[in-house]
Amino acid sequence: MRYQMKSAKQVRSGFIDFFRDKGHEFVPSSPIVPAGDDTLLFTNAGMNQFKDIFLGLVSPEHRRVVNSQKCLRVSGKHNDLEEVGKDTYHHTFFEMLGNWSFDDYFKAEAIEWAWELLTKVWGIEPDSLWATVFQGDIKDNSPPDSDAKSLWPKVTGIPDERVLFGGKKDNFWEMGEIGPCGPCSEIHIDLGPDMCDKKGERRHKCSVNAGCGRFIELWNLVFIQYNRSEDGKLAALGAQYVDTGAGLERIVAVLQNKLSNYDTDLFMPIIDCLSDITGHKYTSELNNKTDNAFRVISDHIRSLTFAITDGATPSNEGRGYVIRRILRRASRFGRELGMHEPFMYKLVPVVADCLGDAFGEIAERADYVSTVIESEEVNFGRTLDRGIEIFSTAVERAEKSNDRTISGEDAFQLYDTYGFPLDLTELMAKERNLKVDTAKFDELMEEQRARARAAQKSVSLMATLADAELPATEDLHKYHAETCDSKIIGWIDNESFKNRGHIVAGNEVGLVLDKTCFYAEAGGQVGDCGTIESSDARFIVNDTMKIANCVIHRGQVAEGSFSVGEKVKVVVSKDRDSIKKNHTATHLLQWALQQVVGQSVAQQGSLVCPDYLRFDFTYPKVLTDKEIKKVEGLVREKIAENLPVTCVVMPKDEAEKLGAMALFGEKYGSEVRVVAIGAKRPQTPDQRPKTEGQSLESAFSKEFCGGTHCDNTGQIGGFKIIKEESISAGVRRITALTGPGLTEYLERRSEIVDELTVKLKVPAEEVIDRVAKLIKENKKLSKELKSAAKQAGADSMAEVRGLLEAGEKIGSSFIITGRLSTTSVEQAREAIDMLKSKAKSAAVVLGFVDDGKVALLAGMTDDLVKKGLKAGDIVKAIAPIIDGGGGGRPGMAQAGGKNPEKIDDALNKAAQLIKEKLAST
């Protein structure tokens, strides 16, 4: 089979254009890091961004949609990580070409168009294609997809014998245990008998879905037509959906006549660059360690580039932990190519060149991504060295064991603490003729996954509402009112949404109203707090959140009771004013940062709350004090100018033309709200803009934003940065204050200055000079003390050497007693340790006087302790002589007393007791 050579760019654009001609609207890929969906680590399918449509929470903007979705499959049931590199077609990152119908066309059109594109547009030989349909499942109460079975031959002409029935695993799709689901049809291509990678294996059947490299799935057509209830029964959905997915990498390999996805123009530029860096050549062989490393690294650098671009950063938790694992796995395979220094960051520009046309964000953020990866590579180099030490200890234990096996516990520690993939531990073990207890490792891994699943269940509200129909809330009042009249529609408890009955004092619920002036948490701004009141009841709102178009007021009934349908008064907390100030100041801060350190600054996240604002941004190094002061100065200038803050809702494309900044990774509709600062207002009627967009052109700050803001910058009052820090490689964080938070901060600082003026006895303006002088004097004194202590230590050591020379020797053992000049307990212990070391066999008792008190210390070498001479016994016997007491271990003991005049008597008694003990042994 030979096909017309097509570049990956041509295949992607050809797919999109084909479905555009069929009336589909192109929708850009959603980020790999899902926005507002804590139930999903990474976007792993094209349908993720349309989940709310399938759940019936929102209505679709378009009935027909097409796109190429960025996907990452490295966790959960969709986890291809350990398979990457071993074959020609598994990947962690891939593009999913997809077309969707939201209650528009259904099976016949989906099948017909898929066949038309594959065979007539791209020219794939029809005789090489197979289709599968769902055979049904009696246990699961799922009927066979007879419609699809009959439609395939009817609309495509494919022979009936090449339309195969398949089981639930391959041919039935479900969003979860409950909710929307339906049968699916897969399209497979037969690459020919030479591509069978399991020839000669017993019981291997060379066929579709048999795990054979000869038959590769190209496209999956999902027909969502059922809803599964909690009892497992299926019921027809009120709407029918089509959700298809075709892996770009596999289709490109077929159309470029390549036997491996890695030989296509999606991977070869990366592999060629890696070859130049390492000096190794790629030969496309499967059973080759070097080629395996090439495939792993070229796959993983794509995943890392897209994930970090979309907001993930390496860490020890959640998404960050997965990214760190991928990076470290690739780094380890780099050692197969002789790379012991950071190298992967050099591949990022190549990924950007290959895919930047389709996904402009990776080109825009390539420098930032390179910085993050290089930093992580450097850190892992140090971690790897420590991990190898732990591995060596595990090897020692394994070599002493009967079965020469590294324990599952050791393998898991290497994996969990040091980022060693299991295959790395197995590889290193094999080099030493050792095995690894993978069964125990898997058990520990499952325990960790169970803990992770349990942690995920804490996000319980979304799970509770997965199949609930929530009413929409009118919330436009949030922008211009802090109180409004409303009506109770229902509430959400731990079980479900309820729209009848009543709630009483003490109940904690999420209250749902027909309209509200509360702002629901979004875009970094916290949800509003406040109260909801009736004539005889009061509800305290602690937080406000939004699911689809439903605003949920979370809190508890403080007094009285509420019923569905009851009229209430909604009152937002006075904190709203502080939140507005912090939010508008955050916009000013981003603008100022770009003026001071460059336009490459991009927001990575933010927190806007009543007490402070927090802003995370991309920048590779620490901001200097000078830069921070300049940023503060620019923000304060704009506050002092009392500039207008204008909020306008407009088409998204118009906002983009204006240059309005969007928060990367955030989902936006066809219309957006733009917040502009400093737009000039018309002085005369003829100066009025023709469009809302034109009214914002003169603004110096324009951002997509749905939050609440001041009417003008003067309302912010003041601005102060109180902290600038690193939160991950290439990402900085600024914490700042405005409004009441700033006032309180300044008052506390003023109180500190007032107290210092009293303690230092100088006016406030002289405090800095006085403190500087004290610090200088303190440093001088500290230096003098260290010098004196050093001299005292030298004198003490000389004194100790004299005691050794004067010591009495009985047999091979020394008896050393003596009085030290002024010293410390630490120095006396050091003296005893030195004497024991020099003498090899010695009983040492030393004494000194410090501030009128006596200290006695005794030390015995191990050989004398074995003979029964114990330091603790000696000090107990001599301590009463100096009117004191003490004790300790056989090797070292200490006593203290009040009578310095008797110190020599105590030392003489010690020598006598030691001689008697040595004479008797």
| Distance between CA atoms of residues 190 and 176, nearest Å | 32
Which pLDDT score is estimated for 462?
Answer: 45
Which pLDDT score is estimated for 466?
Answer: 47
Name the H helices within 712-866.
Answer: 739-760, 767-806, 825-839, 862-866
Contact of 171 with 186, CB cutoff 8 Å: yes
| Distance between CA atoms of residues 379 and 213, nearest Å | 38
Q: At what angle are helices 289-309 and 268-278 packed, to 10 degrees?
A: 110
Which pLDDT score is estimated for 454?
Answer: 57
β-bridge pairing 842-850 and 813-819: parallel
pLDDT tier at 374 (50, 70, 90 boundaries)?
very high
Contact of 692 with 648, CB cutoff 8 Å: yes
Residue found under tokens 């036997």: 259
Nearest CA to 815 out of 829, 785, 835 is that of 835
User: Percentage of the chain with pLDDT > 70?
Assistant: 92
In terms of pLDDT, which residue wins out, 686 or 640? 640
In terms of pLDDT, which residue wins out, 712 or 175? 712
Contact of 131 with 187, CB cutoff 8 Å: yes
| Distance between CA atoms of residues 724 and 614, nearest Å | 10
Lowest mean pLDDT among 47-51, 267-271, 467-471, 753-757: 467-471
Whole-angstrom CA distances from 707 to 266, 519, 524, 646 are: 40, 8, 9, 12
Contacts with 776 (C-beta within 8 Å, 6 or more apart), sequence order = none
Structure tokens that stand for 506 in this block: 């003490």
Residue 199 has pLDDT above 90, yes or no: no
**Mean per-residue pLDDT, 437-463:** 69
Q: What pLDDT, in 10s, does the model give residues 390-431? A: 888 888 888 888 888 999 998 898 887 776 767 678 877 887
Residue found under tokens 């733009």: 674
CB atoms within 10 A of CB 428: 20
Which pLDDT score is estimated for 529?
Answer: 95
Mean of pLDDT over the chain: 87
Which pLDDT score is estimated for 77?
Answer: 53
User: Percentage of the chain with pLDDT > 90?
Assistant: 53
**Mean per-residue pLDDT, 332-346:** 89
Which pLDDT score is estimated for 585?
Answer: 96
Give Cα 733 distance to the centre of its chain. 16
Which pLDDT score is estimated for 460?
Answer: 45
| Distance between CA atoms of residues 545 and 557, nearest Å | 18
Q: What pLDDT, in 10s, does the model give residues 635-650? A: 999 999 999 999 999 9
Which pLDDT score is estimated for 456?
Answer: 47
Structure tokens that stand for 131 in this block: 């289709």
Residue 113 has pLDDT above 50, yes or no: yes
**Mean per-residue pLDDT, 495-505:** 84
| Distance between CA atoms of residues 675 and 708, nearest Å | 9
CB atoms within 10 A of CB 869: 21
Q: Which amino acid is at 591?
A: W
Residue 201 has pLDDT above 70, yes or no: no
Residue 703 has pLDDT above 50, yes or no: yes
Residues 144, 148, 154, 159, CA torsion sign: negative
Residue 686 has pLDDT above 70, yes or no: no
pLDDT tier at 200 (50, 70, 90 boundaries)?
low
Which pLDDT score is estimated for 244?
Answer: 95
Structure tokens that stand for 686 in this block: 């003829």
**Mean per-residue pLDDT, 100-118:** 95
Residue 465 has pLDDT above 60, yes or no: no
Residue 1 has pLDDT above 60, yes or no: no
| Distance between CA atoms of residues 233 and 229, nearest Å | 6
Whole-angstrom CA distances from 595 to 95, 591, 623, 631, 659 are: 37, 6, 13, 8, 16
| Distance between CA atoms of residues 832 and 381, nearest Å | 42
pLDDT tier at 796 (50, 70, 90 boundaries)?
low
Contact of 806 with 818, CB cutoff 8 Å: yes
| Distance between CA atoms of residues 22 and 312, nearest Å | 36
In terms of pLDDT, which residue wins out, 692 or 550? 550
**Mean per-residue pLDDT, 831-859:** 90
What size, in residues, is the chain?
Answer: 921
Residue 853 has pLDDT above 80, yes or no: yes
**Mean per-residue pLDDT, 488-494:** 88
Structure tokens that stand for 545 in this block: 């959140």
| DSSP 3-state of 700 | coil
In terms of pLDDT, which residue wins out, 351 or 390? 351
Which pLDDT score is estimated for 824?
Answer: 79
In terms of pLDDT, which residue wins out, 523 or 114? 114
| DSSP 3-state of 882 | helix
Name the H helices within 569-658.
Answer: 575-597, 625-640, 652-657
Residue found under tokens 């057509």: 221
Residue 459 has pLDDT above 50, yes or no: no
Residue 733 has pLDDT above 90, yes or no: yes
Structure tokens that stand for 731 in this block: 């990402």
Residues 176, 180, 182, 185, CA torsion sign: negative
Q: Which amino acid is at 852?
A: G
Residue 227 has pLDDT above 50, yes or no: yes
| Distance between CA atoms of residues 281 and 274, nearest Å | 9
Residue 210 has pLDDT above 80, yes or no: no
